[in-house]
Chain A
Amino acid sequence: MASRPQTHPSIRPRTLYEKIWDAHVVETREDGTSILFIDRHLVHEVTSPQAFEALRLAGRTVRRPDLTLAVPDHNLPTTARVDGDGKRIPIADPQSAAQLAALEANAPAFGIEYISATAAAQGIVHVVGPEQGFSLPGSTIVCGDSHTAAHGGIGALAFGIGTSEVEHVLATQTLQLKRAKTMEVRVDGELGPGVTSKDLILHIIGVIGTAGGTGHVIEYRGDVFERMSVESRLTVCNMSIEAGARAGLIGPDETVFAYLKGRPYAPSGNDWDRAVDYWRGLKSDTGAEFDTSVRIDAADIEPTVTWGTSPEDTAPIGGAVPDPESFADPSKQTAARKSLEYMGLQPGQQLTDVAVQAVFIGSCTNSRIEDLRAAADVLRGKHISANIEWGIVVPGSGLVKRQAEEEGLDRIFIDAGLEWREPGCSACLGMNPDKVLPGKRCASTSNRNFVGRQGPGARTHLMSPAMAAAAALTGKLTDVRDLV
């Protein structure tokens, strides 16, 4: 029978990561490499075609199609997918169409369940997994996408993999891995009004740095996370990779169990009860040691935006664009100079004086119902600034879209002058037609402000949904607290 992970007196106290890791080790070789069993594999259209092709060439099959779920998201246009007669509208770009067709063909050919581009359940893999109850606490979850870390928000060990690893998981349902180091990010206290999980994770990345978590799995601990909704926890864990950590996780609790109960793929009946009994034991033991510890006081965090081209380039909205000379590290000085040149910003410029021309509310970081509600609250009954040339709201899934429409949020966005789109990754990565034009500045709820990320020459400022909505209203970076 299932038993809770016990703290055996002879065993040293373990972190949550170590408990999930230990429960999934098939075997460990002398060199320390383990074969780790994977419980859930999410597959999308962009990083899977070459993996399926490799299986085909080697005459291999998918070991556990029942643990695999495929859904297109990255490359789908977010404009209407069916016409007035309910007929599917073909994708104009032949390469994108071919990529979608490959997933549509590969999934049934290998016996994998497929959520089609026009299904209500379709959405961004990292929104779909938790929403469907496919992602479960204590499980190992992988996907050919670095933001798989998001699923750590429900207490899973979840991380992004490359296409060769996608192939490896399809063929063997395992990965060959070495145990990671552990990092505790502890945040106690209370987030101020207008300060969200997105501000918090941007602030954390600013503290740790973009490589600070390399080789580590982060566990977010402290009462701030305990009070957070599941949606907010997913936002925090999602951006762990922006601090270099392949995975981030939060111990699952009653909030998570209540969120998952009754979802389509979640266990039910006796299995549910056994699962919850086990999940309740999924906590880092008292006295468990982390390789690295970071402590942050929630009260120190303001609404936060990025000013540069790395997610670590964060500043409170009340601050100014930093002077590159102010950094101690010469290579950081060079990087900051290049960033400011690309971003078209001057050292010392007040952030609230920076004009924006585009707004993107969406992505696996911030496209859940809570995010859309937060943006709509700021926009309700108002109109965006005449400076905004392009503004879109892209729900994370068809189910989020439906819920938002039931709540009338779509009307708020449309009346405010923003476009209401179909679900997908969209302008987060500039792969489908949703791109920010060269030289234009975008207030974006996505996760990366890299050079060219939202389109060649596009300038990205990362922020929370409420802050992006505030920027839409004023046409410049704005402290949302000044609007309410």
Chain B
Amino acid sequence: MEPVSTIQGRAIPYGAKNVDTDVIIPAHWLKTISREGLGKGAFETVRAQPGNVFDDSAYAGAPILIAGDNFGCGSSREHAAWALLDLGIAAVIAPSFSDIFSGNAFKNGILTVELPQEQVDRLLEVAQSDPVTIDLDTQTVTTPFQDRFAFEVDPFRKHCLIGGLDEVALTLERDAAISDYESRHAQQMPWLARGTTEKVA
């Protein structure tokens, strides 16, 4: 994972609420066995409409997406995060995110920034003409107009994003603790350890 620090550039003022992952990437794009190339299918139904914000040349290459409440609800498909990455999106700003989507985004180095609706509304306005800057280190979103919005980020996620750390590698460092737990757990709940249960039976 690439380290994340400052994300600056145009922000796509999408603004829609309850954007589900079927909208971000419809199911027929999920037949792939690769993580690549999903940008072509991103927001397919939205982009079928003329004058949509995603195909507006003003936002070509924009690294930030601004959306409404509950972004990424529905299916757990990580293809939604891969599709955004392939579009060049490095951060999404919204009043709230679904739990699974925000986890998937984080694991792909996409920053999810939660801000109150009024601040999101202000950024939607700014994004019409000007860039937005997100600084992960100071946890702020700024604009060329002296807007300065602070956001919360889970300290562990921040640490991983800034360091570009691989979560699997971090957990594998705790191998001994996991092994200890496994033997304890197997004694306390032997019926869960399938291998041994079947032999006993």
**Chain A residues within 8 Å of B, Cβ to Cβ:** 2, 23-24, 26-27, 29, 31, 33, 35, 37, 39, 46-47, 49-50, 53, 58, 60, 63, 66-67, 74-75, 93, 95-96, 98-99, 102, 136, 138-139, 144-146, 160-165, 167-168, 171-174, 176, 178, 210-211, 214-215, 241, 244, 246, 265, 267-272, 274-275, 278, 310, 331, 335, 429-431, 448, 450-453, 456
Stretch of B54-62, B124-132, B140-148, B170-178 lying at the A interface = B170-178
How far apart are the CA atoms of A99 and B17 in the complex, in Å? Answer: 32
How far apart are the CA atoms of A331 and B96 in the complex, in Å? Answer: 14
A98, A145, A168, A178: residue with the most chain B Cβ atoms closer than 10 Å: A168
Q: Are B156 and A429 in contact, with the CB atoms below 8 A?
A: no
How far apart are the CA atoms of A17 and B74 in the complex, in Å? Answer: 22
Q: Are A451 and B45 in contact, with the CB atoms below 8 A?
A: yes
How far apart are the CA atoms of A335 and B15 in the complex, in Å? Answer: 12
CB distance from A393 to the nearest CB of B (A): 21
Q: Are A27 and B174 in contact, with the CB atoms below 8 A?
A: yes
Q: Are B103 and A269 in contact, with the CB atoms below 8 A?
A: no
Of residues 126 through 164 on chain B, the ones whose CB sits less than 8 Å from some CB of chain A are: 154-156
CB distance from A68 to the nearest CB of B (A): 10
- Known contacts A37-B185, A46-B77, A448-B75, then 15 further A-B pairs from the complex at CB < 8 Å, ordered by chain A residue: A24-B185, A27-B177, A66-B193, A146-B76, A160-B76, A161-B103, A162-B76, A162-B77, A168-B167, A173-B178, A211-B69, A244-B98, A270-B200, A275-B191, A452-B22
- Count contacts on B: residues with CB < 8 A to the other chain: 59
- The residues of A that contact B69 with a CB separation of less than 8 Å are 211, 331
Q: Are B100 and A161 in contact, with the CB atoms below 8 A?
A: yes
Q: Are B171 and A75 in contact, with the CB atoms below 8 A?
A: no
Give the dominant DSSP class at B's interface: helix
CB distance from B138 to the nearest CB of A (A): 19
Task: Name B177's contact: one of A26, A39, A176 (CB within 8 Å).
Answer: A26
How far apart are the CA atoms of A93 and B68 in the complex, in Å? Answer: 36
Task: Name B192's contact: one of A29, A39, A165 (CB within 8 Å).
Answer: A39
Given A171-B172, A172-B168, A430-B27, A450:B191 Cβ within 8 A: no
Instruction: Say if the beta carbon of B182 comes within 8 Å of chain A.
Output: yes
- The residues of B that contact A210 with a CB separation of less than 8 Å are 18, 70, 73
Given A67-B194, A95-B31, A31:B100 Cβ within 8 A: no
B27, B76, B167, B194: residue with the most chain A Cβ atoms closer than 10 Å: B76
B23, B99, B190, B193: residue with the most chain A Cβ atoms closer than 10 Å: B99
A-B contact pairs, 23 of them (CB 8 A): A29-B156, A60-B172, A66-B195, A67-B194, A102-B33, A139-B192, A146-B76, A162-B77, A162-B100, A162-B103, A164-B167, A168-B171, A172-B172, A176-B167, A211-B96, A244-B73, A271-B190, A450-B74, A451-B22, A452-B23, A452-B26, A452-B44, A456-B45
Closest A-B pairs by Cβ, 8 of them:
A267-B191, A164-B107, A162-B104, A162-B78, A49-B33, A95-B31, A211-B70, A160-B76
Instruction: Name which residue of chain A comes closest to B33, CB basis.
Output: A49
How far apart are the CA atoms of A50 and B78 in the complex, in Å? Answer: 10
Q: Are A99 and B33 in contact, with the CB atoms below 8 A?
A: yes
- The residues of B that contact A26 with a CB separation of less than 8 Å are 174, 177-178, 181
